[in-house]
Amino acid sequence: MRAWALAGVLLTLCLYGAPVQAAPAQPPGHQAARYVRWFYPSQMAYGPIENGSGNTGSAPAPWAFLTLPFMGPHYVTSIFDHCSPNYASNGRVCRYDGVVASAAVGGPDPTFDAGYAQTPGRHDYLYYDGHDGYDYGLDYEPVAAAAPGTVRLADWAVPSCHSCLSGLTIEIDHGNGLLSYYGHLSRLSVAQGQHVRRGQVIGISGSTGTATGPHLHFGIYHVNGSGPVDPYGWSGSFPDPYPHDLGDLWIGGSPRYAGIPMPHVSVSAAPELADPTAIDVSWSSPGEGDAFTVDAVDQDGRMTRWMGGAGAGSAVFHGRPGQSYWFWVAVTTDLGWSDANGSVAISVPHLNHGEAQ
């Protein structure tokens, strides 16, 4: 009765396998055309999915400080274009490892002309010309802070135009001259001026602004406004076409999930032999600052809040004779991650005639 399972993850990857990316900004009242593709050409040298184990083959810069802005496997749908990370098209997409796809050689994707094939006649498209960050296929899922810092923006990118640019956006200043940027969110979980920890849930991904579908735009930028930075740095065999990179900024050199305990609720329920109406219930989960809620669910499906705001522990529930109960336990960690799980059902026996309740 887990709240999620591997099958659900795989189904989500299949259902939301259509690449999406930010569209050029539209003036108020103008709608960007919807764009959908039905397959996922690999954007990274090590595969199409970022699962926390990809190997860039690069050493980290001495000042590397980043972990992935999400948990769990997700498709990379668009990369940082070293040939023109300014949303201006120049007919080429240049990846961090020196791979170049161009309109002249590989040709454009017929359904999205800012993506180019690496090989003539093939569908190994790289997306997209002019992009200044990375797009990940998060479908209304938690977004995590990629490093500790202070929130400098948690608002609409253009307050007067909710369909413009990156929509609901968060910027985190990391105190090293760089900020991380999280765009197209559907919900904000932090506020301007708030300090956040690595791996903390800061919002929920979405499709606000000029996005063509649900995803997360993640970018690293100089705080002083001197432009974007590719967190993968440059490992190509020729000089970096983009002069403002700072090397590989992933801790350890390759993108990894934040090393935080993730919640995983365990719950048990068992009858007491000495009291047939009593059910011993216990619950626990990894994580710090866990806050649990425990609901009792009767045989008719009625759910009643039994405990709220509790820590890990146990308690005795007294049920009515002739009824069965199971228990639904949910937890939220102090970093904002949540999980839930249910117990087995326990039947409270009927009373014998003349037996007191």
pLDDT digits (tens, 9 = 90+) for 115-174: 999 999 899 999 999 999 999 999 999 999 999 999 999 999 999 999 999 999 999 999
**Structure token pair of residue 238:** 């020729």
Q: How far apart are CA 323 and CA 264, in angstroms?
A: 29
Q: For residue 203, list its beta bridge partners.
A: 143, 188
User: Mean of the pLDDT values across residues 174-185?
Assistant: 98
Per-residue pLDDT, 354: 52
Question: What are the structural domains of the chain?
Answer: 1-260 (2.70.70.10), 266-347 (2.60.40.10)
Quickly state the pLDDT bin for 355 (edges 50, 70, 90).
low
Average pLDDT over residues 228-238: 97
Nearest to 117 by CA among 135, 129, 105, 130: 105
Host H or E run for residue 8: helix 6-15
Greatest distance between any 2 Cα atoms in the chain: 91
- The C-alpha atoms of residue 36 and residue 213 are separated, in whole angstroms, by 8
Lowest mean pLDDT among 8-17, 89-98, 193-202, 309-318: 8-17
Q: Residue 188 burial (CB < 10 Å; 0-12/13-18/19+)?
A: buried
pLDDT mean over 98-120: 94
Query: β-pairing, 291-298 with 303-310?
Result: antiparallel
In whole angstroms, give the CA distance from residue 254 to residue 171.
Answer: 22
Joined tokens for residue 159: 């307050």
Angstrom CA distances, 223 to 14, 164, 228, stand at: 37, 22, 9
The model's pTM is 0.85
Which pLDDT value is given to residue 350? Answer: 85
Length in residues, the chain: 357
Closest CA to 133 of 41, 249, 218: 218
Helix (H, G, I), strand (E, B) or coil at 121: coil
How high is the pLDDT of residue 137? 96
Q: Which amino acid is at 348?
A: V
Q: Which of 165, 164, 169, 163 is nearest to 186 (CA)?
A: 169
Q: Encode pLDDT of 239-276 as tens digits.
A: 999 999 999 999 999 999 999 999 999 999 999 989 99
pLDDT at residue 71 tops 80: yes
Q: Residues 262, 287: contact at Cβ < 8 Å?
A: yes
DSSP 253: G
Confidence of residue 2 (pLDDT cuts 50, 70, 90): very low
pLDDT at 11: 37
Q: What does residue 156 show for φ and ψ, rounded to 5 degrees? A: -65, 140
Q: Which residue has the higher pLDDT, 173 or 89?
A: 173
Give the whole-angstrom CA distance, residue 60 versus residue 247.
7
- Across the range 181-203, mean pLDDT stands at 98
